[in-house]
Amino acid sequence: MELRKSYFADQRKDDLHEIGQPRPRSDSPGHVTGKTAYFADRNFPGMLHLKMVRSPHHHARIRSIDISEAEKHPGVVKILTAKDVPHNVYTILILIQIGPEDETVLADGKVRWKGEAVVAVLAETERAAQEAAAKVKVDYEVLPAVFDMEEALKPGAPTVNEYHGRNYYLYDSGECRKVRFGDVEAGFAGADHVLEQTYQSSPIEHAPTETTGCIVVPEGNDRFTCYTNTQAMFFTLDNASIILQMPGNKLHFVGGTVGGGFGGKVDVIVEPIAILGAKLTGRPVSFIYSREEEMQISSPRAAEKVVIKDGVMNDGRIVARKVTGYTDAGAYSRHSPYGAQKGAGHYPGPYTIPNVWIDTYCVYTNRTPSSAMRGFGVTIGDFALEVQMDKLARLIGMDPLEFRFINAYRDGDMKAHRQPTEGAALIECMQEASRAANWPVAEKYLSMSSYAKGV
Amino acid sequence: MAKVPVQFTLNGAEKAEFIDSGTTLLHALRDKIGDTSPKGGCHQGTCGGCSVIIDGELRLSCLTLAETCNGAAITTASGLSEGGVLHPLQRAFLDAFATQCGFCTPGMIMAATVLLDHTPNPSRDEVVEALSGNICRCTGYEPIIQAVLTAARSNSQNAA
Amino acid sequence: MALALQTFSTVKEANAALTVAGTRYLGGGTLVVRAANEGDVSVSILIRSTEPSLSAITVSGDKVRIGASVTMAAIACHPDLSSLAHAARAVGGPAIRNMATVGGNLFAPAPYGDFTVALLALDTTVSTKDGEVPIETFVAKRESNHAIVTAVGFTLPVDGGFRFLKVSRVKPTGVAVLSIAAVLEQAPDGTVSSARIALGCMADRPMRATAAEKALLGRKLTSDGIEPALAVARDGTSPITDPIASAWYRNEVLPVHLGRLLLA
Amino acid sequence: MAIRRGRGVAAINYPTGMNLGGDPTQALVHSTPTGNFMVTLSSVDLGQGMKQIMAQICAETIGVPTDRVVVDTADTDTGPHCMGTFASRGTHRAGNAVIQAAREARQVMLEVAAEELEVNASDLETDGQGNILVKGAPQKSISIFDVALSAHFKRGRSISGRGMFLIPRSYPEKETGAMKPSTCYAHACTVAEVEVDDETGEVTVLTVKNVFEIGRALNPKMVEQQLVGGSWMGVSHALYETTEPYYPNRDHGGTDFNQYLMPGPGDLAQTEIIVLERPSADGPYGAKGPGEMCANPQIPAVANAVFDAVGVRIDTLPITPERILRALKAQASN
């Protein structure tokens, strides 16, 4: 890695002692000796193991659940169904007033995605829990499922989630989050070229090497200690408190070093049910996702579809950009309404465009609920935007890097969401990339600056 | 549940336990013996986090039944440093900033240890091959490869 | 029922134990222990045998016998089997190769089982207590096999006669998009006098590319010479679709990779 | 067969912290009797090195070496509230909270030192080595060790401080979408070079040259870790990763690290990282959040490079050999 201190030298103080120094990491000696304690590096006497019975169907009504055989299985201590969960229907963003509550901790009457949690089995050993789980009988009536966002948005599509009653999230702005800036149609009308293209992605897993999990220990004083690898301690504690209808002061969350997160450990998914199990049995409970669960059950990065329509002039100026973004939330909201909205705030990218129209939708389908991941709401949008930029440059016969200089935002430029640009540095990054990659651009671009025009 | 005796040396120390038959070595080490340095990242044999050295060979403790290890000499990442002095590989991982979340690190170090035991001066390709059963999601592997190459160089300098 | 391991010093005793319901033979553990870890509760007793012959490699002249418990790592470093080393090394990473056995590989479902693809090209026989059967017969009926595989046997190809290619997305040791093994003999004029070609991932288990084999006979290993073989390479295939690749893709690139292997 | 080479560029920006704000983080700092400092948080270290960075930020602010700072975090009984470690917010939000807490603690520390040295606190400075000096008269000094002892056992002062950082919440205006998504943005530009096998669709990424602007590299080696690992993940997203390879069809989802594809140690592109620093107005020592954005630009850069190499556009992620081969065949038949 090279630090190029020549850029923005006037804005940076270099009189610091500790900041800017490559100090060794204090946690590394623990890592290399295997001494770092992760949540699962604990073993408690009498600890029970929780295994989840999951839906084999993408969408089905639950006619009945029979746990009688499973309950008798040797080693089984407790079996939990929806009726055991005090506040079974929840949504994690309720903490920042983004509702409605739309997800069941344990399925109640219906499953909406293949892999949804239905029954929790607590047993003395993992093997006993697995064996008992195989004896839980769930009678399903399979329902039509919808997997494609376009299909889901059509009239007559199966309703994925009755708590929404429609297959998209309803924002206060309507069926999508909107950004309106200038007159995009006038921009297209005056453009030398108009290019509309569609981009698509499929779900992506965080794949941390340590799977999601927790160990809950009853402390004997009506408090429960939850050793967890959540990325957000209080967020998880407060949601668990709501789901369990248990005052927050009864809960003690302990994290520590987490074996990778990447956004995959911000759902509140293992802790509430494990705490409930510990409460109802009075014993420590371990609930740790298998790798299979981590891959297919834990929320992935949402699949997205992004439609970009641009008006561009032969001189390289983009004069209008219309983006319609669709986020595939899967069966439940989790963080997806927020992610789709974050996309609306990100488009049209780091470019100054006078006429902008953004609609971002959060769509429900019968698949594993998606949620946050590194670059949430932006990663796939950036793929779409930057491939589109390449296409636009080639459309008008311009070098793709020079084309970006022409449109790059600078300090003071008004963004589509009506904030003036501050602290821009796109131009300087491109200047340095031009040098590093030996990708020559005209001198006028090398002498540009992100500082406000005329400064 | 049938309990069976297992006896082996772990990082040079004699260990004898009664365990449930069918228990994996990973569980025996972590839950019975208390060495949590091998990590259960998948229990499928696909991540390498549970790698240990059994009689000089790299093995996955999640797929090895503990009772098949009777009489074996087992080494884990927690047993590499001696008298508080880090093993050259451990030192090299620190110096190369080759750990982030650290969860893959013990397994990586096990894989690298076996490599350097057999191939003191490995090529980059040999290092890559040696680490190919171990997943890292944080680093992009390059710092880990560099750490192993550095440790090998310092080894050969010490030997010279 | 909890999982338990039973160890027997002879194959005979182990075979007898395997007649009990809920038993399964434990080789290197890469398939069986994994299944148990993942919640397969259909097996409650694992059976293994420590009979020394299971772990032996014997080479006399060009005849090779490899015990079923021999690991990929042992094959890869055996001085008399150097021509097969890269096929053994195609299986997993270093730790897996120290565990995965020849016997187990015979049962590995696609996309696994790369070494069995090599064994198929080598015209291997598979030994159990019931005698020896050709590998094709064995692999076709492997689900119904209940006798412990004790060894595989084959004749070493002439120098340079064995070719092997594994195509994977992840390097150096990802699972297979497809794998190809070929045992070729050439007449003094360079024309192919005998050919056995085996394919992995082109069906649910390793298969022969018999049409391509025939089309190679009498042809030289040149771009023109192999063209008829490549044209029929897909005959009889029904590739798997999995997270690595679709059946369509596997069929599309099979002739490309076969051509590269033959011209290498 | 032909191996065809191409290169592509992409440029991006990325917001720091939870979109639209409303995401508080607190920190507490106190000294031990012998002048070491404890930072108490509830933030989570995911491996990015939060604990180390918070120690360096606290040390810089108090004026002691980093190894005199201990970070206690991720415990809800002891640590004050943090919204969480996500959205590239850890360093920015928690760092600001630590600075505020450390400043308050430093002020008490200087007041105690001033009493010991019989000068005004405003005339004192720290040397970064554990001593407090009188400005312009460095021979007149006291160690922080002695100051802490004095505070505890002689003067009854708590050398401690409270920090809270909050970006107030912004609500988007319904019709126009007027909003304040973030207060600072990191930037990047990536150029990727690839080779494409036009018979198999296989892509080899040869080089990835990344320029990242991250506000301030608080610990250059640690930021390098993130940027190198992020660049790898970006390439991985571009070419390999998905839990649903036949999306929207739900079948054939991978369940292990063999089936869930990511580049192995034998697939690594030659990766170059160049860092620019334009300190952000509200970042701790100017830092922005680099953790997420560093994995974004490689995706379009690789996509554009593939087009440059073989002339087909793959607008669907991941850009698999199959998608390229299908496009090449369609191109050939047109």
> Which residues of chain C have a Cβ shorter than 8 Å from any chain D Cβ?
167, 169-175, 241-246, 248-249, 252-253, 256-257, 260
Nearest Cα neighbor of B26 from B10, B4, B3, B2 is B10
In tens, the pLDDT along A21-48 reads 999 999 999 999 999 999 999 999 999 9
D-interface mutation test, from B50, B94, B97, most D Cβ less than 10 A away: B97
Q: What is the pLDDT of residue A13?
A: 83
pLDDT for A362 beyond 80: yes
Instruction: Compute how many other C-beta atoms are within 10 angstroms of the C-beta atom of residue B97.
Output: 22
Q: Which residue of A has its CA nearest to C37?
A: A127
B-interface mutation test, from D228, D259, D268, D298, most B Cβ less than 10 A away: D228
Distance (Å) of CA C152 to CA A43, B94, C57, D251? 44, 47, 10, 36
Mean pLDDT for A208-227 is 97
pLDDT for D135 beyond 70: yes
In tens, the pLDDT along D197-228 reads 999 999 999 999 999 999 999 999 999 999 99
Token pair for B112? 């690298």
Backbone angle region of C61, left / alpha / beta, with phi > 0 → left and psi within -120 to 50 → alpha: left
pLDDT band at B126 (very low <50, low <70, confident <90, very high): very high
CA pair distance D129, D65, nearest whole angstrom: 6
Instruction: List D197's β-bridge partners, or say none.
Output: D3
Token pair for A134? 């195989």
pLDDT band at A270 (very low <50, low <70, confident <90, very high): very high
Both C209 and C248 in a single domain? yes
| Cβ–Cβ < 8 Å for A318, A409 | no
Q: What is the pLDDT of residue A444?
A: 97
In tens, the pLDDT along B2-54 reads 799 999 999 999 999 999 999 999 999 999 999 999 999 999 999 999 999 99
Q: Which residue of B has its CA nearest to A39?
A: B36
pLDDT band at B160 (very low <50, low <70, confident <90, very high): low
Mean pLDDT for A389-418 is 98
Chains touching B by CB (3 or more pairs below 8 Å): A, C, D
| Cβ–Cβ < 8 Å for A362, A398 | no
Instruction: Compute how many other C-beta atoms are within 10 angstroms of the C-beta atom of residue A62.
Output: 19
Using a CB–CB cutoff of 8 Å, tell me whether C39 touches chain B: no
Both C59 and C143 in a single domain? yes
Give the residue from C155, C180, C206 where a domain finishes: C155
The whole model's pTM is what?
0.98
Considering only the beta carbons, identify the residue of B22, B77, B97 that sits closest to A25. B97
In tens, the pLDDT along D223-242 reads 999 999 999 999 999 999 99
| Cβ–Cβ < 8 Å for A349, A131 | no
Both C32 and C60 in a single domain? no
Check A8 against D276: CB less than 8 A apart: yes
Give me the CATH number covering residue C61.
3.30.465.10
**Long-range contacts (CB closer than 8 Å, 24 or more residues apart) made by A103-109:** A103/A163, A103/A331, A103/A332, A103/A333, A103/A334, A103/A369, A105/A243, A105/A272, A105/A273, A106/A80, A106/A81, A106/A82, A106/A273, A107/A55, A107/A62, A107/A82, A108/A62, A108/A82, A108/A83, A109/A61, A109/A62, A109/A82
The alpha-carbon gap from C131 to the nearest alpha carbon of chain A, in Å, equals 37
Residues of A whose CB is below 8 A from B104: 209
pLDDT for B154 beyond 80: yes
**Residue D126 burial (CB < 10 Å; 0-12/13-18/19+)?**
buried
For the CA atoms of B5, B9, B15, B21, the dihedral, rounded to the nearest 10 degrees, stands at -30
* Catalytically active residues of D, by annotation: 292
pLDDT band at C2 (very low <50, low <70, confident <90, very high): confident
Backbone angles phi, psi at D177, to 5 degrees: 75, 15
Give the residue from C131, C155, C179 where a domain finishes: C155
Check C41 against A131: CB less than 8 A apart: yes
Both C57 and C151 in a single domain? yes
In tens, the pLDDT along C204-229 reads 999 999 999 999 999 999 999 999 99
Instruction: List C35's β-bridge partners, or say none.
Output: none
| Cβ–Cβ < 8 Å for A417, D173 | no
User: What percentage of chain D exceeds 70 in pLDDT?
Assistant: 100
Considering only the beta carbons, identify the residue of D253, D263, D322 that sits closest to C249. D322
Token pair for A29? 């000696």
Nearest Cα neighbor of D54 from D21, D102, D17 is D102
Check C39 against A51: CB less than 8 A apart: yes
DSSP B116-143: HHH-SS--HHHHHHHTTT---SSS-SHH
Nearest Cα neighbor of A383 from D308, D307, D248, D301 is D301
The alpha-carbon gap from B18 to the nearest alpha carbon of chain C, in Å, equals 14
Report the SS3 class of residue C72: helix
Report the SS3 class of residue A190: coil
Check C243 against D261: CB less than 8 A apart: yes
A-interface mutation test, from B82, B87, B137, most A Cβ less than 10 A away: B137
Q: What is the pLDDT of residue A454?
A: 52
Check B139 against D48: CB less than 8 A apart: no
The alpha-carbon gap from B34 to the nearest alpha carbon of chain C, in Å, equals 20
**Residue ranges of E strands in A30-157:** 48-54, 60-66, 76-80, 89-90, 103-104, 110-111, 117-123, 137-142
The domains of chain B, with CATH numbers, are 3-78 (3.10.20.30), 88-159 (1.10.150.120)
Distance (Å) of CA A417 to CA A175, A310, A377, C248, D275? 18, 18, 16, 45, 28
CB within 8 Å of chain C, chain B residues 54-93: 57-60, 62-65, 67-68
**Order of strands across the sheet that contains D124-126:** D124-126, D131-134, D137-143
Both C179 and C106 in a single domain? no
- The range of the structural domain enclosing residue C257 comes to 162-263
Both C57 and C100 in a single domain? yes
Mean pLDDT for A273-299 is 98
Q: What is the pLDDT of residue D1?
A: 63
Q: What is the pLDDT of residue C49?
A: 98
Using a CB–CB cutoff of 8 Å, tell me whether A51 touches chain C: yes
Give me the CATH number covering residue C256.
3.30.390.50
Residue A346: half-sphere exposure toward Cβ, Cα within 13 Å: 33
Quick one: how far is CA D304 from the chain centroid?
Answer: 27
| Cβ–Cβ < 8 Å for A182, A356 | yes
pLDDT, chain C, mean? 97
pLDDT for A319 beyond 60: yes
Q: What is the pLDDT of residue B33?
A: 97
H-helix or E-strand spanning residue C167: strand C162-168
Mean pLDDT for D179-204 is 97
Check D322 against C260: CB less than 8 A apart: no
Q: What is the pLDDT of residue C139?
A: 98
Check C256 against D1: CB less than 8 A apart: yes
In tens, the pLDDT along A237-261 reads 999 999 999 999 999 999 989 999 9
User: What percentage of chain D exceeds 90 in pLDDT?
Assistant: 97
CB within 8 Å of chain A, chain B residues 30-69: 30-31, 34-44, 46-47, 49
The domains of chain D, with CATH numbers, are 3-16+182-333 (3.30.365.10), 25-165 (3.30.365.10)
The domains of chain A, with CATH numbers, are 48-142+207-296 (3.90.1170.50), 177-204+300-397 (3.30.365.10)
In tens, the pLDDT along A431-449 reads 999 999 999 999 999 999 9
Check A127 against C38: CB less than 8 A apart: no
Q: Which residue of D has its CA nearest to C172?
A: D266
Q: What is the pLDDT of residue A63?
A: 98
Using a CB–CB cutoff of 8 Å, tell me whether D145 touches chain A: no
Backbone angle region of A110, left / alpha / beta, with phi > 0 → left and psi within -120 to 50 → alpha: beta
Using a CB–CB cutoff of 8 Å, tell me whether D75 touches chain C: no
Give the residue from C111, C129, C155 where a domain finishes: C155
How many domains, in total, are found in chain C? Answer: 3
CA pair distance A226, D211, nearest whole angstrom: 41
Both C89 and C26 in a single domain? no
pLDDT for D275 beyond 60: yes
| Cβ–Cβ < 8 Å for C121, C197 | yes
H-helix or E-strand spanning residue A225: strand A224-228
Both C173 and C231 in a single domain? yes
CA pair distance A388, A441, nearest whole angstrom: 20
Residues of D whose CB is below 8 A from B132: 264-266
Both C184 and C255 in a single domain? yes
Q: What is the pLDDT of residue A455?
A: 45
Q: Which residue of D has its CA nearest to C91?
A: D258
In tens, the pLDDT along C62-99 reads 999 999 999 999 999 999 999 999 999 999 999 999 99
pLDDT for B159 beyond 70: no
For the CA atoms of A146, A151, A152, A153, the dihedral, rounded to the nearest 10 degrees, stands at -170
Q: What is the pLDDT of residue D176?
A: 97
pLDDT band at D19 (very low <50, low <70, confident <90, very high): confident
Residue partners of A115: CB distance under 8 A and separation at least 6: A54, A55, A293, A296, A297, A368
Check C253 against D266: CB less than 8 A apart: no
pLDDT for D60 beyond 90: yes
Using a CB–CB cutoff of 8 Å, tell me whether D270 touches chain B: no
SS3 content of chain C, % helix, strand, coil (to 5): 35, 25, 40
CA pair distance B10, D244, nearest whole angstrom: 42
In tens, the pLDDT along A366-378 reads 999 999 999 999 9
C-interface mutation test, from B60, B134, B136, B145, most C Cβ less than 10 A away: B60
